Every structure is written in C-alpha cells, then in structure tokens.
Structure 1
Amino acid sequence: MADSEADGLSPRDYDARDLKRLIDVADTEGNTKALARADLALSRAFAALVADMRRPARGVKMRYIDQEAEPKPPSPADVVRAASLAPSLTDYIQTAGWMSALYMRLRSARAHYLDTWGGLPAVQIPEGVKLRPGGKAPEITLLRHRLGLSDGIAYDKALAAKVKAFQTDHGLKPDGVAGAMTIAALNDGPDRYDRLLALNLERARVLPGPWTRHVVVDAASARLWYYSKGALDGTMKVVAGTKETQTPMMAGMIRYATLNPYWNIPSDLVERKVAPKILSGASLKSLRYEALSDWSANPAPLAQSAIDWRAVAAGQSEVRVRQLPGGNNAMGRIKFMFPNDLGIYLHDTPQRDLFAKEDRHYSNGCVRLEDAQRLGRWFFGKTPTTDSDAPEQHEPLPQPVPVFLTYLTAVPTAQGVQFLPDVYGRDGE
C-alpha cells in the first residue's frame, strides 16, 4: 500500500495509519475480537488494493472478443481466496502475484529508469553535431553535464560507457557515438520516457497474473510468453504484422488447433501476387493453390479458366484462393484458433529465416510462431498429431486458454528497461 504510487494509486486511499493502529491493538490485547477486527480490516484493504491495481485504464484500446478474457472487478472474497491458495502468502504479496509478471518487471524497470536517468540535468545539446570518443568538441562539455559526469571537454572512456548505457536503455544502437538520434533522445528528457513507461504499464495492467493459465503476445517486441501455476512456462520469438497490416491489440480464448491447415490468401495478395503469376503462365496446380466459389464452409471449386484473372489483377473482381496443406504452406503444420472477425490467429510457418532478424514485423497481422510444436505440447500436454493427411483437422483444447495480443514499446531487461521503436505509431494516440 505504501508503494502504490508506483501503480498510479494513492496510498492515502487505504488508510494505512488506521490499519497499523488495529494491528498494534491486536498485538497488545491479543484477544480474538481484536485479532478479528485487524484481520477483517486488512482483508478489506488488501481486496481494495488488488481491485484498484487490476482496474483497466480507459485509454488502453484492448478489444475483447470473448467475455471470458475480459478483466472483471474481483470481489473481496475472490481476492482473499486467491491469496489463500498461494503456497506462500508473503511471496504472493511481495511479488503482487495477482498482477502480470510483465507488469511487475516493468514497474520495477520504471523505478530503475527514474533512479538512473530521471535526476540528471535537463541540458539541451545542439543538434547537427556528432560527438565521438577521442573528440574534443565544445559540445562534449554539455554532453558530460547532461549525463551527470564531471566537467571537461574530453570524450573519454567514462563518457563513452555512459552514452552506451543511455543508448541501450533507449532502444538505440549502443555504439558510444552521440549522433542525431542519441542527441534527440537526450534532448527529449526523462519526462517523455516516464510517460511512455506509464503508458506501457497501463497496457500491461490488463494482463492476467501468472496463476491464470494464459498466453501473451507482444507485437512491438515480437515475442510470446506463456504462464501457468504462478510461473513462466516458456517464451519464444514470433513474427508480427507489418506497419501496414498491424497485429491488433485484442484478447480472446484459444479453443482449438487446426492441423494440416489451408491458407486462405487475403484478397489483396490474390490481386497483387497470385493473379500476376497466373497471367505470366503459372497454374494454380503448380502453385498448390485452388480457387473457390465463395467464403462459405463448403465452397465449390472453380476451374482456373473460369476466372477473369485480368479483372482480379486490376482489382475489379475478387476470387477466393487458398493454399493447399503441406510443408510449404504459409500456415505450416498447425494453427491455434481464437475465433474472431479479423482472421487473426497463431500459426506455424516454413519461413524460419525471419526469426533470426532483430525486427520481425513481416506478417499480414497473424502471429507466426518460432516453435509451434512446443506451444502445442503446452496446450495439449502432448504433441498434437494427425491420423491422416486429410486437410483442416480440428482438435479442441482440453481447456480453452486466454490469449492477449498487446503492444509494449517499453520492455524490462536484465539491466533495467529498453524502449523499442513505435512501429505501429500507437504511442502518440
């Protein structure tokens, strides 16, 4: 309660002074009534604190496609019951086990960031200069002052190390050279970055605590985490949507897996990629595609010759085209479905080279998984397999699992915090 300012709350709301008085009375008198009064007061205050910490911010645009995934105000009984089930009440409270582990790490990272960079002088450094180790430009004095070092004009090892640390924490290349981007970040001052940290804390606030079995996908860093029984069970890289085809902020319930999936090719890709190939002499069969009459569950196949491909390429006509299952299918061998009207899901992929890239924003909005089989084993308790090569085999999960697609442009690291590029331009909304 005393630390709740870090959560955007007011410690005064929980009347800590009165709680301490009740505890002192219980300690002094030691009778059942005094203990009961203290216990009830502490339980009510704890329930209020948890409910306030869990309350979503109005400005976070998370879309909930399943009611089960939408945060609901916990009742005092729910709060106390969840705490009583934890192996250690002390650990549960000290780690705020009702909050997402990502939230708590980001909360600590914010405190570390403010301690490291928040109290330094707000000195403006002239733009258009490039300061590097070994240099002796007059602007180096301003740079040293801005980063809290002793006066001087030398770009020495201490200054280079400080610049590298600043660059690392602010999502810049840590080369120790104060160029245009580093100077712009320095001139922004800590206030802007503290606001970014506060915004990302609000985004993380809606994520469940680790005692809820769930999956988190962060489109900004292109990573995935999965939790259960109070612990992180695993993490992996993902490929998220491009700037033009963004992975949305949404939450739903993963209900089933589809093995040997088709890939229903988006209409714009049929227009831009498929139709030109057909017009250049390729065939649907050679591409392992098939054309269909409509988007129903049981569409009729269309002959390639029955389609006006010039009209499709010109955007004057649309046709449904899907890729047949197989090793080269864009969906890979399996996809995990949380039914939604945007056609977003998690899936395997044959394009393994993309996971070696630092920036992994290449998809059409869906989430490509670095290790779909490992995630499948976590969902099912075994490796999901098929009995035949038949396409689109649906396998319901033993229990639906919530999935949260979020967007964290400030992420906790082992050293503190790192700011990531705002690929989708959402931080300014």
Structure 2
Amino acid sequence: MSSPVLAQDQPLEPIELPPSIEQGVDLIYIDPEIKPEIDRRNELLRTMGFKDWSGAPIDLYVPVNDRYTDLRRGLMKYRQRWGDLPQVQVPTGTVALKPGSKDARVTLLRQRLGLAAGDSFDAALEKQVRDYQAAHGLKADGVAGNGTLASLNRGSEHFERMIILNMERARRLPTAQDNARYILVDAGAARLYVYEDGKVVDSMNVIVGDAERQTPMMAAELRYVQLQPYWNVPPDLAKNLVAPRVVEQGVAYLEERDYAVFDGWEDDAAKIDPASVDWKGVAAGTVDVRLRRGPGEWNSMGDMKFMIPNDFGIYLHDVPEPEKPMFQAENRWISNGCIRLQDADRLLKWAFGGKPNSTGETDERVDVPDPVPVYITYFTAAPTADGVAFRADPYNRDEKLLSRVTLDSVDIASTSE
C-alpha cells in the first residue's frame, strides 16, 4: 500500500513557499482574490518615507486593520509605563524575591521598577511586580522569581520590538473596506473571531497545532461544509492505537467501531478486506494502512468540517461531545495542525445565515452561499485598555524575526488620537 498523501487533522508535508513569504509574519494567500491591497499600500507608504517594521503611525495615512491601531496606541502606552524606567540588571538567584525578602537585589529591583531607593520588599514593590507580570505574560503573583527577573533584564526595547512585530502581523489582515465579513483565527491565542463590517460579532476558543505541527499563517476561503463527515485516521494513530488492538482482538475490533480499510489515500481508493492486512506490520510501522471511520460519537471530526481548500490539508472542524472540556484548558496547542472549534454549530449558523439545507447523508457537502474569507495569523501581543499584554510564543517564531524590527525615533505620542 502506498504511503498516505493526506491524513485528516494532519497537515501535508511542507510546500515550497514563495520567496516573498516571511515565515511567522506573512500570510500565505491560497485564494489571491481575497488578498488585501498590501503591496499597493506598502508602496504608497515607501513613497511617503515610511520604513518597514518601524512602528510608525501608518494608520493615519492608509487603511489598516483595527488591531494595528490598537497595538500602535499600546506601544505608546508601553513606552510611557515601562520604557522610561531605569534599565538596570537584577541578578537571578537561588531564592525568589518576595514580600519580606532581605536580599541586596531588592534595592536593584526597586530601582528597576522606578520606586524610591531602599531595601524593603514592601507593598508598593509587590504591586509593581504584579503589574509588570500581568503585562508581560507572567503569573501575576507578586513574587520576583528568575522568570520575572529574566524578563526584566531583557529591557523595555525588547518588548517594544515585540509590539512592532505584532503590528506587522496586523498590517497583513483585512480592513473593513477589504472584507465586510470574515473569520480570523489567532493561533497565538488559540481563539477564533467572527467579523462583520470590521467589528467582532462573535468569538470562541479553538485548539490549534502543537509546536511540532504548527498551524500555518494563511488566508483562504471557506467554500463548503461537510456534514456527518468520515474521519481518515492519522497514520500514527493507526500504528500506535488501532493496530495493536486488532492484533489482540482480531478484525472484529474494526467492525464494532465502524472502521473501514482502503488500499490508498486517493478519493477513489477501493475498500479492502481487513483480514488481508498484516496488522502486526502496521503496529511495527513497516506496513502503511488507511483507516476511515464513519460518523458517530467516536468520530474526531464531530458533526462537521469547514473546508478551506489548500495544499496544507488544513481545515476547521467540530469535536465529539466528550472532548468539549478541552477548550477550557490553558494549553490548547495540541492538534496536528487543523483547527478544532469550541462551538461548530454556532459558526455554521453564522456562515449560512441559519441552518443549511441537508439531506442527512453521510459526508454530505453543503456549499456556503457566499464564500467567507478565513485569515489564520499568530499574535504574541494583544492590545488592552492599559496598553499591551504579552503572551507566550508557543511556536517560537518571534526571536528570529525581532532583528528585523527598527526602533526609529517615531513620535508615537504626537499621534495618539
């Protein structure tokens, strides 16, 4: 049997990206017709003297996604709140600094956070530490452990660069003029947003790819939904989970759980007799097999798949009821690359303007009346009422990009509306 070309909830092998694509910041436009006028806007900005990746107030001159403006204002607030503090280094140590600590480093910590000179870890210092932690994606417990000190020692310019990097990501998103109605998936936050006329009208948690199988940054159209879909079992699960059970219990294990076996991964692949397969070889990884499971409570696709045709094999999908609690977990970077939806039925009703007409058949394709653009991006900084909140970088994309950022002397304060 040939090796699989595509496994459900598992991306394809990496495709060659255009040289213009900057991994971790640019979107790959699967459907060129939905690409915003990024190139035209960038050329216009260059003629006006704006530099790329500089944090400049370009939103005063060309249309941008609101996220850009909010981050740019957050940059101004960040500089006012944290950028003007003394950028002294506070050594890490074997003991965390906390209220009541008697440690020479407390004096440096007070200086670093802009408090009056002294050696007391008092209530004022605890509050300042908590505020810093809350803004920088750290556990806001008021205890300055090595993680907090390492963050402080990076200096404010590091975080200013992070804000500007995320502004660059926001530049690549649509404006209200580009698309009145679209879906935005933020893989950095593991959250989905539904937009109408440039405003968020709904949102939900999602589960996205893990660090090894990252959900790519891309834009494609939601063209159709498959109701009561089949599930093509990923090869690693066939090898590690299903095959050992078949070896132990026989092919009845497959029949009882609605598994079918095929001779390939093509759409027209033929169904074969499970008894003809070397299941010990499948379990050992020496034999490839394609397993497909029918609809039901066991189906990892749930009741529906939202198809955005692309060469990565990425789509959005429902999950069976027992998996719903996973959307409340902090770690939602656990899929094989596809996007699992907290409330697929709600998204279905929005996309179709109600319940779509359905025959109730298995794996039924229902076309979306008006294809909806889906933008998948990745933010590690988000605007807040007080400025910006930084997040973890689960895909480790930021460090290799931060060198591109320039901290030119842009008068952000003069452009705060």
The reply to whether residue 335 of structure 1 matches residue 305 of structure 2 is: yes
Q: Give the aligned partner of residue 88 of structure 2.
A: 123
Q: Is the 1:291–1:304 Cα contact (8 Å) retained in structure 2?
A: yes
User: What 5-or-longer segments of structure 2 have no aligned partner?
Assistant: 1-19, 45-57, 401-417
The reply to whether residue 232 of structure 1 matches residue 234 of structure 2 is: no
Of 201-210 and 93-102, the range deviating more from structure 2: 93-102
CA distance in 1, matches of 2:286, 2:36: 44
Q: Is the 2:64–2:174 Cα contact (8 Å) retained in structure 1?
A: yes
Q: Give the aligned partner of residue 398 of structure 1.
A: 369
1:383 and 1:405, CA in 2 relative to 1: closer, same or farther beyond 3 A? same
1:216 and 1:138, CA in 2 relative to 1: closer, same or farther beyond 3 A? same
Q: Which amino acid aligns with 2:88?
A: V
Q: Is the 2:358–2:366 Cα contact (8 Å) retained in structure 1?
A: no
Which one of 61, 78, 101 corresponds to residue 66 of structure 2? 101
Q: Which amino acid aligns with 1:367?
A: I
Give how far 1:305 is off. 0.8
Which one of 120, 142, 145 corresponds to residue 108 of structure 2? 142
Q: Give the aligned partner of residue 229 of structure 2.
A: 261
1:58 and 1:326, CA in 2 relative to 1: closer, same or farther beyond 3 A? closer
Q: Give the aligned partner of residue 47 of structure 2.
A: none
CA distance in 2, matches of 1:419, 1:74: 29
Q: Give the aligned partner of residue 388 of structure 2.
A: 417
Q: Is the 2:29–2:35 Cα contact (8 Å) retained in structure 1?
A: yes
Q: Which amino acid aligns with 2:302?
A: G
Q: Is the 1:376–1:383 Cα contact (8 Å) retained in structure 2?
A: yes
CA distance in 1, matches of 2:158, 2:280: 51
CA distance in 2, matches of 1:96, 1:299: 55
Q: Which amino acid aligns with 1:240?
A: V
Structure 1 runs of 4+ off > 6 angstroms? 93-97
CA distance in 2, matches of 1:123, 1:113: 18
Which one of 79, 89, 92 corresponds to residue 114 of structure 1? 79
Give how far 1:420 is off. 1.4
CA distance in 1, matches of 2:40, 2:88: 49
The reply to whether residue 245 of structure 1 matches residue 213 of structure 2 is: yes
User: What 5-or-longer segments of structure 1 have no aligned partner?
Assistant: 1-55, 80-92
**Structure with greater helix share of residues:** 1
**RMSD of aligned alpha carbons:** 2.2
TM-score (norm. length: structure 2)? 0.81
Q: Give the aligned partner of residue 180 of structure 1.
A: 146
1:157 and 1:210, CA in 2 relative to 1: closer, same or farther beyond 3 A? farther
Alignment of 1:305-320 (within 5 A): 305-320=275-290
Of 248-257 and 58-67, the range deviating more from structure 2: 58-67
Alignment of 1:374-389 (within 5 A): 374-384=346-356, 386-388=358-360
CA distance in 1, matches of 2:37, 2:63: 13
Q: Is the 1:98–1:208 Cα contact (8 Å) retained in structure 2?
A: no
Deviations 1:392-422 (A, max 9, x none): 1111111111111111111223432221111
Give how far 1:385 is off. 5.5
Give how far 1:95 is off. 8.8
Q: Per the alignment, in what secondary structure is the counterpart of residue 159 of structure 2?
A: helix
Give how far 1:74 is off. 7.8
Q: Per the alignment, in what secondary structure is the counterpart of residue 258 of structure 1?
A: strand
Give how far 1:75 is off. 6.9
1:300 and 1:57, CA in 2 relative to 1: closer, same or farther beyond 3 A? closer
Q: Once the two structures are aligned, what percentage of the paired residues are identical?
A: 45
Would you say how many aligned residue pairs link Structure 1 and Structure 2? 358
Of 238-247 and 269-278, the range deviating more from structure 2: 269-278
Of 310-319 and 137-146, the range deviating more from structure 2: 310-319
Deviations 1:56-108 (A, max 9, x none): 995634222111232335879xx9xxxxxxxxxxxxx9998932222222222
TM-score (norm. length: structure 1)? 0.79
Deviations 1:245-286 (A, max 9, x none): 211111111111111011112222222222222223261122
